[in-house]
Amino acid sequence: MKGLVALTKALADGATSSVETTKALLQKPDLVGAFLLRDDAGALAAAKASDERRARGAALGPLDGVSVALKDNILTEGVVTTAGSKLLAGFVPPYDATVTTRLKAAGAVLLGKTNLDEFGMGSSTENSAFQQTKNPFDLTRTPGGSSGGSAAAVAAGLCAGALGTDTGGSIRQPAAFTGLVGLKPTYGRVSRAGVVAYASSLDQVGPLARSVEDVALLLEAIEGFDAADSTSSDVAKTAWREGLRSGVKGLRVGLPKELFVDGMDPEIDASVRAAARRLEALGAHVVELSLPHTKYALATYYVIAPCEASSNLGRYDGVRYGHRAKDVKALKDLYEKSRSEGLGPEVKRRIMLGTFALSAGYHDAYYVKAQQVRTLIRRDYEAAFASVDVVLSATSPVLPWRLGEKLDDPLAMYLMDVLTLPCNLAGLPGLSMPCGQSKAGLPIGLQLLGRPFDEATLLRAAHALEADLNLSLEPR
Is 71 noted as a catalytic residue in this protein?
yes
Beta strand residue intervals within 65-152, DSSP E? 67-71, 109-114
Which C-beta is closer to another protein: that of 6 or that of 334?
334
φ and ψ of 226, to 5 deg: -135, 120
Per annotation, catalytic residue among 18, 50, 67, 71: 71
Helix intervals (H) in 40-169 = 40-56, 98-105, 148-155
Which C-beta is closer to another protein: that of 234 or that of 288?
234
Contact 111, 159 (CB under 8 A): yes
How far is the C-alpha of 64 from the C-alpha of 108, rounded, in Å?
Answer: 5
Per annotation, catalytic residue among 17, 50, 124, 146: 146
Torsion of CA 330, 334, 340, 342, to 10 degrees: 160
Q: Which residues contact 33 (CB under 8 A, 6 or more apart)?
A: 115, 131, 132, 133, 134, 149, 152
- CA 212 and chain centroid, separation: 15
Which C-beta is closer to another protein: that of 306 or that of 400?
306
Which C-beta is closer to another protein: that of 194 or that of 254?
194
Q: Does the bond joining 359 to the residue before it have cis omega, within 30 degrees of 0?
A: no
In SS3 terms, 245-310 reads as HHCCCCCEEEEEHHHCCCCCCHHHHHHHHHHHHHHHHCCCEEEEECCHHHHHHHHHHHHHHHHHHH
Contact 407, 344 (CB under 8 A): no
How far is the C-alpha of 50 from the C-alpha of 66, rounded, in Å?
Answer: 9
Which C-beta is closer to another protein: that of 94 or that of 263?
94
Q: How far is the CB of 435 from another protein (least distance, A)?
A: 29
How far is the C-alpha of 169 from the C-alpha of 420, rounded, in Å?
Answer: 5
How far is the C-alpha of 284 from the C-alpha of 277, rounded, in Å?
Answer: 9
Which C-beta is closer to another protein: that of 6 or that of 368?
368
Which C-beta is closer to another protein: that of 227 or that of 287?
227
Is 472 noted as a catalytic residue in this protein?
no
Residue 387 burial class via C-beta count within 10 angstroms: exposed 0-12, middle 13-18, buried 19 and up? exposed
Q: How far is the CB of 426 from another protein (least distance, A)?
A: 8
Is 432 noted as a catalytic residue in this protein?
no
Per annotation, catalytic residue among 67, 128, 170, 271: 170
Contact 432, 242 (CB under 8 A): no
How far is the C-alpha of 167 from the C-alpha of 157, rounded, in Å?
Answer: 25
Q: Quick count: other Cβ atoms within 10 Å of Cβ 29?
A: 7
Active site positions, annotated: 71, 146, 170
